[in-house]
Structure 1
Amino acid sequence: MSKFLYAIITGIIGAALLHIIIILGVPHFTGRDAYTRVTSEGAPFVFHPLSARPDAVGLASLDPYLRVAVCHFDIERQPLSLVALGEGVDFWSVALYDRDANEVFSMNDRTSVAGDLDVLVATPVQVAQLRKTPIAALAETILVEHPGTEGYVVLRVLAPQASYEPEARAFLANAECLPFTGR
């Protein structure tokens, strides 16, 4: 009887583990994960604004008070520079994700230098190289170590009323998500 009970318990635990693995693996195998959706928005190193209605790949800015743009990148060859002037907007936030949609870094205008977005995203090796030979222009730039080479950025700006709309759209339109050139 104990062998039969052991077999049933082992089967139940095995089935539970298998179901968990399948549920967690579905986005990876279907190509409908966040990274794949963001890369479907268009070219890398460009902020792509999202509208209130889901687009062809299902991305949307669902919060009526936020305007959102996404940018995907590959920093294998050179770091990524994220720059935007915070003038005229009351609140903005940025979040950096790896290819698996794990948040690597986030900040907002309250935690930035002078209210502007100025972030350099680099691999651990690139960060070490940048620290060996500091560049004066990067004195106030926030340096973020990214664990992999691919990922995406989500930039949000607050627009709680129609009068905030022009500044919010201008902020996203002028934001840069470009390979770092060394300034």
Structure 2
Amino acid sequence: MIRTLLWLLAGVLLGGIIHIVVILALPYFATEDVWSRVAALEAVDKPVVLPVPKPGEPNPLRLDPDMVYAVCQVNLADGPGVLSGTLPDAFWSIAVYNRAGAVIYSTTNRDGVGQNLDLGIFNAAQTRLLAQQQLDVAEGLLIVESPQNNVFALVRLAPPHPAMQARYADALSQLECGNIQ
């Protein structure tokens, strides 16, 4: 009886360990993750305006059809990243994501930034150089430190009327995105 209970307990414990290991390892084997979807957009060092999802059509990125989006990938191993430009006078937000799709920084124009977007993305080594004043950057650049080199930024604009989406998409396509030389 005790031997059976020990075998049962060992089986449950081993099953629990295997279950936890599989669940934690599964994301590493996924091929359809956020990074691969963004990489398919070919947005390296340039803003790519995402098409507005139509009602009834697939929306794999789960985009809000009332907003206009642009995405840009930057590899910080090539130098600090920058995302800058002038956006329309309406609500906008920007989020910087790491390779796993986790937000490492986010802000909106309601934080007192206004219409001008000047965002610098630095890895830890570049931030140290910046602190030692060995990197020359533009005044007023909002500094974001990333723990990883591969990042992407997503800019969202909320046009007050659907007829303005094309004009807002054009404004997003005019953003400067890439590495600081």
TM-score w.r.t. length of structure 1: 0.82
Distance change in 2, residues 1:68/1:14 (3 Å)? farther
Matched residues, percent identical?
24
Gap runs ≥5 in structure 1: none
Deviation at 1:36, TM superposition (A): 1.2
Structure 1 residue 103, shift from structure 2 partner: 1.0
CA distance 1:13–1:128, change in 2 (3 Å): same
In 2: Cα distance, 1:96 partner to 1:61 partner:
17
**1:118-148 deviation per Cα after TM superposition (whole angstroms, max 9, x unaligned):** 1100111101111211777533111111001
Match runs of 1:128-139 below 5 Å: 128-133=128-133, 138-139=138-139
1:104 paired with 2:104, answer yes
**Distance 1:83-1:7 versus aligned 2 partners, 3 A rule:** farther
CA offsets 1:47-83 (integer angstroms, 9 cap, x no match): 1121216xxxx75463121111111121113000011
Task: State the Cα deviation string for residues 85-116 of structure 1 (Å, max 9, x = none).
Answer: 12x33111111111111110001111253332
Aligned positions of 1:5-16 closer than 5 A = 5-16=5-16
The 3 A distance-change label for structure 1 pair 163 and 25 is same
Corresponding residue of 2:74: 73
Alpha-carbon distance in structure 1 between the residues aligned to 2:133 and 2:26: 44
Determine whether 1:153 maps to 2:161: no
Q: CA deviation at 1:43?
A: 4.5
Matching of residue 123 in structure 1 with residue 123 in structure 2: yes
Aligned AA (1:91): F
Partner of 1:45: 45
Which residue in 2 is equivalent to 1:164? 164
**In 2, Cα distance between equivalents of 1:50 and 1:21:** 36
CA gap of 1:50–1:27, structure 2 versus 1, over 3 A, is farther
SS in 1 for 2:110: coil
Question: Aligned partner of 1:84: which letter?
Answer: G
CA contact (8 A) 1:124 1:147 kept: yes
For the pair 1:90 / 2:90, whether they are aligned, the reply is yes
Which amino acid in 2 is paired with 1:145? E
1:62 aligns with 2:71: no
Any conservation in 2 of the 1:97–1:151 contact (CA below 8 Å)? yes
SS at match of 2:140: coil
Provide the rounded CA distance (Å) in 2 between the counterparts of 1:168 and 1:24. 41
Offset of 1:151 from its aligned partner? 1.6
Query: When the two structures are superposed, what TM-score results if normalisation uses the length of structure 2?
Result: 0.83
The one-letter code of the counterpart of 1:98 is N
